[in-house]
Chains A and B, each alone.
Chain A
Amino acid sequence: MSGALGSIPLLAQGGEGFVRNRESGSGASCVSDDGVCPAWIVDHFDRYMEPLGRHVLLTVVALAIGFSISFTLALLAHRRRWLIAPVVQLTGILYTIPSLALFFLLLPITGRGFLTAEIALVSYTLLIIFRNVVTGLDGVPSDVVDAARGMGLNDRQVLWRVEIPLALPEIAAGLRIAATTTVGLASLAFFAGAGGLGDPIYADLNFKSNVLVAGGLCVLLAIALDLLVLAVQRLLTPWTRAVPA
């Protein structure tokens, strides 16, 4: 047996800090019945803050790196069309590999922790963002580009002053899908030893209060990021707001 075999650390045991305190005064019977206990939730809400912070960090870093890579690739592919097919195929394969499987495939190479989780999370954002940026740039009316050229703008100016601004709604839509998807996948990052809200969820799956709070925070985070990107997009594209639905 090779020595490398022993180097994969054990599966995340998840949240030693999440052992339930069954003698927590009022509502103790509710807690031991695995119920939904408002008093327990209020008393123990602060223990979810660290996993929530980790979750936000995992998501935001993955989105930032994923956006930088896919946006750059999309700009390259916008001028060199032959690039689109191979990029979509490659990122499509990455997108298809289940996240849990990818975490464990990466463990022997990158070890447990933040890096492994980030590689997986970033790889899932690529297809989504790349596709939407390319679609957005393709959707810019050619008349508008011609007019811009006619006014003397060079390629670079056309791209940054005309094409990208007009593609912003589509780009933002891709970013929003990537954001909600990444929040969901980050809930599995604890399997890679990277923490996040999956940690408390997995630590006590039968306790309704626990699942409700940690799961609820996941959903709220997804919605909050979604609305945040939407708000930024509305700010950056004032002309889209006046259009009647």
Chain B
Amino acid sequence: MSTPLAILGIFGDAIDFIFNAREARTGGAEVGGLGEFASLTGKHLLVTVAAVGLASLVALPLGLYLGHKRRGGFLAVSVSNVGRAVPSLVLIALFIAFLGVGFANVALALALLAIPPILTNAYVGVTQVDRDVIDAAVGQGLTDGQVMRQIELPLALPLIFGGLRTSVVNVIATATIAPIAGVVTLGDPIISQSVYGDAGKLAAAIVVALLAVVAEVGLGAAQRAVTPAPLRGTPGATRRGRFFVKTAGKGLSTS
């Protein structure tokens, strides 16, 4: 190998694979290169956005409403517990066996994985709004709907974003196994390795890992940006830890 990347051995070869196309091991078509990885990343993000979008449509209104009514805490917590107990591979395999392969089915399966963190965080985010603040708002004549939109939603935003972040990172990770259900994503070079070779497999692993870390860091920044300044004092409290600790500590011990 003539590139300076050669000193990195197989990892160097994998990085080379990301930037430069080469002939497939089976001959014929070119594989690898920035063009192919950009396209695979695009497809990966497309299925991620579809799944998280679908999950948000269901989980956000439900979580906000249940939180507003301060009811259904059991539901919010149960959903997150059940969600964790069903492994992503099992969920996708059940979809393949019972509903078949394809983009819609995979997006639906991934959406089911994305719902629990979004639902739980929206619920917890709203219920943790100080009662006095809501009483003051009601006293000033705000209607139910106004309280939800103008008081609860803004104050719950940091946690809502935390839930979205958890879901996006989970779905990016799980979309890697989507090729087993016939949906091409960045997992394709990993799973169809006969075409891409070992370097392609490793290259895809590197890109997926980077994508997940970038999503985590990027959404973390977005989360801080939507957090009202006075609430920013306690880093960690508004972060993902809330999802872990709250849902577990509170919910599980009473179940």
Contact surface of A with B, Cβ cutoff 8 Å: 1-2, 4-8, 10-11, 34, 88, 92-93, 96-105, 107-108, 128, 131-132, 135, 169-170, 173-174, 176-177, 180-181, 183-185, 187-188, 191, 198, 201-202, 205-208, 210-212, 214-215, 218-219, 222-223, 226, 230, 240, 245
- Asked if residues A101 and B209 are in contact (CB atoms below 8 Å), the reply is yes
Check B213 for interface membership: any CB of A closer than 8 A. Answer: yes
**Bound-state Cα–Cα, A184 to B201, Å:** 22
Chain B residues with CB below 8 A from A219, complex form: 85-87, 90
Please indicate the chain B residues that have their CB under 8 angstroms from the CB of A4 in the complex.
Answer: 9-10
Given A88-B236, A98-B208, A211 contacting B93 (CB threshold 8 A): yes
Contact B208 A180 (CB under 8 A): no
Q: Are B236 and A245 in contact (CB under 8 A)?
A: no
Q: B residues near A, CB below 8 A?
A: 1, 6, 9-11, 13, 81, 84-90, 93-94, 96-98, 169, 172-174, 176-177, 180, 187, 190-191, 193, 197-199, 201-202, 204-206, 208-209, 212-213, 216, 236, 240-241, 244-245, 248-249, 252-254
Are A105 and B209 in touch, CB under 8 angstroms? Answer: yes
Residue ID in chain A nearest B1 by CB atoms: A2
Question: Could you say which residues of chain A place their CB within 8 Å of the CB of B249?
Answer: 132, 135, 169-170, 173
Beyond A135-B241, A173-B252, list 8 extra A-B contacts (CB 8 Å).
Answer: A5-B13, A5-B198, A97-B212, A101-B205, A101-B212, A132-B248, A177-B84, A226-B81
Q: Which residues of chain B are within 8 angstroms of A88 by Cβ–Cβ distance? A: 236
- The CA of A201 and the CA of B85, in the complex, are separated in Å by 16
Please determine whether B89 and A198 come into contact, CB atoms closer than 8 angstroms. yes
Give the residue among B1, B244, B248 with the most A Cβ atoms within 10 A. Answer: B248
Check if B176 sits within 8 Å of A108, measured CB to CB.
no
Complex: A176 Cα to B252 Cα, angstroms: 9
Nearest residue (CB) in B for A205 is B96
Whose C-beta in chain A lies nearest to the C-beta of B92? Answer: A205
Which chain B residues border A206 with CB–CB below 8 Å? 96-97
Neighbouring A residues of B236 by C-beta, 8 Å:
88
Is B252 touching A230 in the complex (CB atoms < 8 A)? yes
Q: Contacts A96-B216, A222-B85 hold; do A208 and B190 have CB atoms under 8 A apart?
A: no
Identify the closest chain B residue to A170 (Cβ).
B249
With contacts A100-B177, A105-B202, A240-B253 known, is A226 near B85, CB below 8 A? yes
Q: Are A100 and B97 in contact (CB under 8 A)?
A: no
Q: Decide: A222 near B87, CB < 8 A? Known: A5-B198, A105-B205.
A: yes
Chain A residues contacting B187 (CB-CB under 8 Å) are 100
B13 touches A187 (CB 8 A): no
Provide the residues of chain B in CB contact with A131, threshold 8 Å: 241, 244-245
In the bound complex, residues from chain A placing their C-beta under 8 Å from that of B89 are 184, 187-188, 198, 201-202
Cβ–Cβ contact A211 & B94, under 8 A: yes
